[in-house]
Amino acid sequence: MGWLSMPLSSMHPHSTPKEYLDAQFTFEHAYDAEGKRIEGGVANPLPAGVSTRGLRVIASSCLRNKVWYAAIAPLENGKAGPVFAAVVLVRWNPRASDGYVFAYKDMDETAGPFECECPERILRLLDPTENHAALVWRRRCIRNLMRETRKLEDGMQIRLPSKIRFTDGYEGDVFFIRKQGRKTTLALTADGPPCYRIGNLARMNFTIVPQTRVHKTLFG
């Protein structure tokens, strides 16, 4: 499926991507015996030959208003099926000059999404699956969560998986960590000043470069 764009008026009564997507992916529709959707709802209990299908969002998170992750249960005749993960790409620009402030592109975990920062609380709600693409995606999310626990210590030397080119033209993959309160910056040498920053550095697949420490010689 491609991108679906809309103005703020089309999101009413919702004012954020998360609110809209939570509502968009929570529904239940009735169908007749031929599989045609019945408009206007049906009585409960269901008449003969009528069935209902839908989805229910159990938990969701819209990270940085860029990706919406959700644990979703499929519904059939009011009963919930195995919970799966949905991944929706989001474009959110309240100041868009053309008025189209919101756009989204949806997929589920079986599509093998590139985005894999699903929160742990959502991953824990998913039911087991045998789908290979979904399993690979879940493992990638777990690896990202494990990387978040790695501590970046002041003075640590790291090597990135590939060289990064910065706006000043410098290109490199080996840096020294500089901690300034909660801010993490990068230096080019062990005693050099901090000069670069990289977003989500802790989640990157970097390696720690062992450092040789020279100890003072003590004479008796």
* pLDDT tens for each residue of 40-59: 766 677 778 888 999 999 99
Are 72 and 171 in a shared domain? no
Last residue of a domain, one of 110, 131, 148: 148
> Residue 219 — very low, low, confident or very high, per pLDDT cuts 50/70/90?
low
* 188-214 residue pLDDT tens: 998 888 889 988 787 777 888 876 554
SS (H, E, C) the chain: CCCEEECHHHHCCCCCHHHHHHHHCCEEEEECCCCCEECCCCCCCCCCCCEEEEEEEEEEEEECCCEEEEEEEEEECCEECCCEEEEEEEEECCCCCCCCCEEEEEEEHHHCCCCCCCCHHHHCCCCCCCCHHHHHHHHHHHHHHHHHCCCCCCCCEEEEEEEEECCCCCEEEEEEEEEECCEEEEECCCCCCCCECCCCHHHCCCEECCCCCCCCCCCC
Are 64 and 101 in a shared domain? yes
Mean pLDDT of the chain: 89
Q: Is the model's pTM score more than 0.85?
A: no
Are 186 and 106 in a shared domain? no
Are 140 and 198 in a shared domain? no
Are 161 and 94 in a shared domain? no
- Domain-located, residue 216: no
**pLDDT higher for 50 or 109?**
109
Are 23 and 101 in a shared domain? yes
Whether residue 215 is predicted with pLDDT greater than 60 in this model: the reply is no
Are 132 and 40 in a shared domain? yes
Are 102 and 41 in a shared domain? yes
- Domain-located, residue 218: no
Residue bearing tokens 């998360």: 18
Of 70-74, 143-147, 161-165, 216-220, the range with the lowest mean pLDDT is 216-220
Tokens encoding 203: 């989640």
- Domain-located, residue 59: yes
Whether residue 132 is predicted with pLDDT greater than 50 in this model: the reply is yes
- Domain-located, residue 219: no
Q: How many domains does the chain have?
A: 2
Are 137 and 161 in a shared domain? no
Q: Which domain holds residue 66?
A: 4-148
Are 142 and 179 in a shared domain? no
* 6-50 residue pLDDT tens: 999 999 999 999 999 999 999 999 898 888 888 876 667 777 888
Whether the Cβ atoms of residue 90 and residue 5 lie closer than 8 Å to each other: no
Are 8 and 99 in a shared domain? yes
Are 86 and 141 in a shared domain? yes
